[in-house]
Amino acid sequence: MKLKIENWKKSPFVLSLVTSIPPFLLTVCYDYFKDKPVFTTFFSILKWLGKFLWSILNFDLKVWWVVLSIIIFFFIIIIITRFQKEDVPLFLSYKEDKFKNWKWTWDWRFSNRKKAWTISNMQAHCPNCDTSMIDRSDSIWINFECPRCGFMAHGNQCDEPYKIERIIFDNIDRNFKN
């Protein structure tokens, strides 16, 4: 009959041996080294550390030293936070470009849901007067209209905003690879 590992680990005999042998060995070692000065250096170091700690805790301290230290500490923290630069990606300055002879502008927004930067407020500009155009596209046709000069763009004269967005991300990828 084989004895499984789980069974012998939980047996009272093994548990009593495992819990009684280490104290026995420690007692034998203590009795052996009790008459010999083996741990004197160790105990002298512990005594020295205790005296050093006690002298630090009993040091005469003026209240104005504590107040001045706290003020200096907060002043250093303020200086560090003022001059600490936030890590912002370089591509955030890329906010406009020309695609198919049209100027496009956009902003960047950090999406906490995606944990990434996304393009927001993307606008096509009129090629005649550089005014932000109105997107009148529907599910079938792409249409842009200039509110200032009345310029109209249909179909293949302009790209869809999602394609422009893809080109923007591709431009960023290409610039960072070079």
Residue ranges of alpha helices (H) inside 34-160 are 40-57, 63-83
Task: Show me where the domains of the chain are located.
Answer: 96-177
CA distance 95 to 108: 8
What pLDDT does 6 receive? Answer: 62
**pTM listed for this prediction:** 0.49
What pLDDT does 111 receive? Answer: 81
Residue ranges of alpha helices (H) inside the chain are 5-9, 12-33, 40-57, 63-83, 161-177
Q: Residue 100, Cβ neighbours under 10 Å: how many?
A: 14
User: Which residues have CB under 8 Å from 134's CB, separation 6+?
Assistant: 144, 145, 146, 147
Residue range 23-36: mean pLDDT, rounded: 77
Residue range 21-31: mean pLDDT, rounded: 82
The 10s digit of each residue's pLDDT in 70-119 is 999 999 998 888 877 667 777 888 888 888 778 889 999 888 887 788 88
Strand order in the sheet with 116-125: 96-99, 102-111, 116-125
- Whether the per-residue pLDDT at 36 is higher than 70: the answer is no
Return the percentage of the chain with pLDDT > 70, whole number.
Answer: 87
Among residues 130, 124, 156, 128, the alpha carbon closest in space to that of 142 is found at 156
What pLDDT does 50 receive? Answer: 92
